[in-house]
Amino acid sequence: MRFTGVLEHRIADPGLDYLESGNAFLSRLLGSHLVYRPAGDDMGRAMQEVAASLLSSGEHPYIIPGGGSTPLGSLGYAQCAEELVQQAATAQLRLDYIIHPTGSGGTQAGLIAGLECVQSGTKVLGISVKAPREQQESHVHALAQATAKLMECVRDIDRKAVEVNSDYVGPGYGRADAATVEAIELVARLEGVILDPVYTGKAMAGLMDLIRLKRFSGKDTVVFLHTGGAPALFSYRELFMRQDSTSDTPRETRNQPLKNVV
């Protein structure tokens, strides 16, 4: 089975690392064929065109939309939610919140549908990496409804169960601000956990800020869901080099542990 990736040039001035390292490098290593389209192109249509061309050359293409964010794709994170709830029960933990990055919406939709299905009472907070809150919440809600329908275990997802915070998008999709860089460095050095500048680093910067803003009580159990993406870090090497050379804050003082971040 072969794979063709249809990628949108979302970043205006990508460097060599962005184009050739990280996930692009891994995709090529794994034998993928990559096709690029300009920013703003209708990617759904672009995939249809690529599929049509493969079909005409005798292949049998199957299109997976961006992020795999269909009801079927969201079942993966519905299962993740059930697994998390089981693990928490074994550890005798009450899960109050799950925090994670939200982009194409399937992660959050699946988590919400899965949690509703087992009636866990755990809240989900998606930290947006791109879209404004209202837009992202409606999109995730529709997808969560469709996922729940596919699971045949819940009738309706309450609109209020879908909560997105868009305060940490920063300069835009795929662009990291200083808070994201700080979050990535802090978690790497304190926990040995590798985050990325596009998704998990932004969500962690959001979580750290929300803790500072006392969004959670000291008794809440908050799970940060690491959704992967670490290879992307290598596409953003320069960001860290720049931060190191221009920062006037000594590195040691930028790494103070944050109370309540576990």
Residues that bind ligand PLP (CB under 6 A): 67, 69, 101-108, 199-200, 227-229
Report the nearest approach of ligand PLP to the CB of residue 196 (Å): 6
| CB nearer to ligand PLP: pick between 73 and 117 | 73
> Please, are residues 144 and 108 in contact by the beta-carbon 8 Å criterion?
yes
DSSP 59-114: -------GGG-SHHHHHHHHHHHHHHHHHHHHTT----EEEEEESSSHHHHHHHHH
Cα atoms in the 13 Å half-sphere on the side-chain side of 70 = 8
Cα atoms in the 13 Å half-sphere on the side-chain side of 139 = 19
| CB nearer to ligand PLP: pick between 147 and 243 | 147
Provide the angle, in degrees to the nearest 10, between the axes of the packed helices 106-117 and 133-151. 50
Report the nearest approach of ligand PLP to the CB of residue 240 (Å): 18
| CB nearer to ligand PLP: pick between 103 and 122 | 103
| CB nearer to ligand PLP: pick between 21 and 200 | 200
Other C-beta atoms closer than 10 Å to the C-beta of 67 total 14
Other C-beta atoms closer than 10 Å to the C-beta of 229 total 18
Report the nearest approach of ligand PLP to the CB of residue 107 (Å): 3
Report the nearest approach of ligand PLP to the CB of residue 68 (Å): 7
Residues ≥6 apart with Cβ < 8 Å to 108: 77, 100, 102, 124, 126, 140, 144, 162, 164
| CB nearer to ligand PLP: pick between 61 and 231 | 231
Q: Which residue is nearest to ligand PLP (CB)?
A: 229
| CB nearer to ligand PLP: pick between 164 and 208 | 164
Report the nearest approach of ligand PLP to the CB of residue 209 (Å): 18
- Tell me the residue length of the chain: 262
Report the nearest approach of ligand PLP to the CB of residue 56 (Å): 30
